């Protein structure tokens, strides 16, 4: 646990938390109706992000054997980009037409909301459901395989819980598809994270999210 309090770890976590808070700002500003609560919510995001990144910088490289940020080969960037475009097209053709009528608030309405959602997902959702849980499970189990399983199961639980909190309720087959999608996405995200670091995971998410441009243009 002393790794969490190392000066270099805390410095990196503080810097990452500040950048993530700035990235979350557009999404929160568009979402909140009570503007006076924005600063308080940004402070909460900054505090939570600090602890998430503290886990990541303290334990990822120490127990996972790979740094948080790597320099992937150009061939890997190209392969990931092409795969992300294929997944984006599949979502645009099959998944989005089913989910959009049921969850319209989960889809961008203009370019500002698209940018805000993309930044928010990269800055908070990905560290919360991928980077930090993986580092936490690494610290507990010292096993990449067990940590991957735990991270995927956590993502599935969050997806199932989040889907159940919104109205109208999703049909069972759609809910199963959403949970399965989270499981597949989480497992693939961990593969990218292990092979290319955080930047490759963010790039994948940005390319897949860019599919909404086809509907906004």
pLDDT at 215 over 80: yes
Helix (H, G, I), strand (E, B) or coil at 197: strand
Question: Once rounded to an integer, what is the mean pLDDT over residues 102-128?
Answer: 96
What pLDDT shows up at residue 67? 95
Tens of pLDDT, residues 35-66? 788 999 999 999 999 999 999 999 999 999 99
Angle at 174 between CA 168 and CA 177, to 5 degrees: 140
The CB-side HSE value for 199 (13 A sphere, CA atoms) comes to: 9
Q: Mean pLDDT over all residues of the chain?
A: 95
Identify the DSSP state of 70. -
Q: Are 203 and 118 in contact (CB under 8 A)?
A: no
């Amino acid at each position: 646990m002393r790794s969490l309090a190392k000066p270099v770890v805390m410095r990196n976590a503080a810097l990452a938390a500040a950048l993530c808070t700035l990235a979350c700002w557009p999404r929160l500003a568009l979402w909140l109706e009570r503007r006076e609560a924005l600063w308080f919510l940004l402070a909460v995001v900054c505090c939570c992000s600090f602890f998430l990144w503290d886990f990541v910088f303290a334990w990822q490289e120490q127990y996972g054997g790979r740094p948080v940020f790597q320099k992937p080969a150009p061939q890997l960037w190209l392969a990931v980009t092409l795969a992300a475009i294929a997944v984006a097209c599949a979502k645009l053709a099959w998944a989005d037409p089913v989910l959009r009528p049921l969850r319209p608030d989960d889809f961008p309405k203009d370019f500002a909301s698209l940018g805000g959602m993309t930044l928010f997902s990269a800055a908070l959702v990905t560290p919360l459901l991928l980077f930090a849980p993986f580092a936490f499970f690494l610290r507990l189990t010292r096993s990449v395989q067990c940590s991957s399983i735990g991270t995927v199961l956590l993502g599935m639980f969050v997806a199932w819980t989040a889907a159940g909190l919104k109205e109208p309720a999703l049909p069972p087959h759609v809910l199963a598809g959403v949970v399965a999608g989270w499981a597949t996405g989480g497992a693939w995200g961990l593969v990218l994270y292990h092979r290319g670091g955080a930047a490759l995971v963010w790039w994948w998410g940005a390319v897949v999210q860019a599919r909404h441009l086809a509907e906004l243009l």
